[in-house]
Amino acid sequence: MHISEGILSGQVLSAGAVIAVAGTGIGLKKIDYDKIVHVAILASAFFVASLIHINIGPASVHLILNGILGLLLGFAAIPAILTALLLQSIFFQFGGLTALGVNVVIMAVPAVLVHYLFLPLLGKSSKLNFTAGFLAGFFSILFSSLLLGVALWFTDKNFFETSLAIIMTYIPVMIIEGVITGFCVTFLLKVYPEIIPKKL
């Protein structure tokens, strides 16, 4: 889901950079520094998950895990995702430095959205915990796919069909991420409930 350098227009890259910088600033202020280890561990999980690629038809996709980052970190997910994407860009040439802002927006904004949408469901029952996790994982990928499509469309209207193809390719990933996030959240609530943030 990384957008490479040389694809997006200057206006889209600039807008992405501005939003990413603003979001990172808010995220750094929102981090509970008593729980900075949680942020680091989740950023590491995000970093590693993106390295595992799965072939689906002619395309290759990978897990992202931005749903669980968002659900557990809220705005703090933005600097966590920025750090992981920056390292991926430097070490593995995923995305690129000029597209970093847009890639952060594509993956981090949906993470924050699912935090506010689904965190209130946690802690009521095991079924609701799994449901909240599944929805967070599913919709974070859906929203990310849509944002990627919007970035391409604003660069060139001819990217519309490409955007639709990307969204369709990621439908299996949406389901897989939903299931993984659901199980992870249910497990964490049983063994380490302190990692779950307080209700909004």
pLDDT per position as a tens digit, 112-156 = 999 999 999 888 788 899 999 999 999 999 999 899 888 888 888
State the Cα–Cα distance between residues 9 and 168, nearest whole angstrom: 24
DSSP letters of 45-90? HHHHHTT-EEEETTEEEE---HHHHHHHHGGGHHHHHHHHHHHHHH
The model carries a pTM of: 0.88
Q: Is residue 65 part of a domain?
A: yes
Could you list the residue range(s) of the whole structural domain that residue 110 is in? 10-195
Cβ-based neighbours of 178, under 8 Å, separated by 6 or more? 67, 133, 134, 135, 136, 137, 138
pLDDT per position as a tens digit, 22-31 = 999 999 998 8
State the Cα–Cα distance between residues 112 and 78, nearest whole angstrom: 8
Q: Is residue 5 part of a domain?
A: no
Q: Is residue 200 part of a domain?
A: no
Once rounded to an integer, what is the mean pLDDT over residues 2-25?
89
The count of structural domains within the chain is: 1
pLDDT at 199 over 70: no
Q: Is residue 4 part of a domain?
A: no
Q: What is the pLDDT of residue 144?
A: 92
CATH code, domain with 171: 1.10.1760.20
CB burial of 129-157 (b: ≥16 within 10 Å; e: otherwise) equals bbbbbbbbbbbbbbbbbebbbebbeebee
Q: For 54, list phi and psi in degrees, rounded to 5.
A: -125, 130
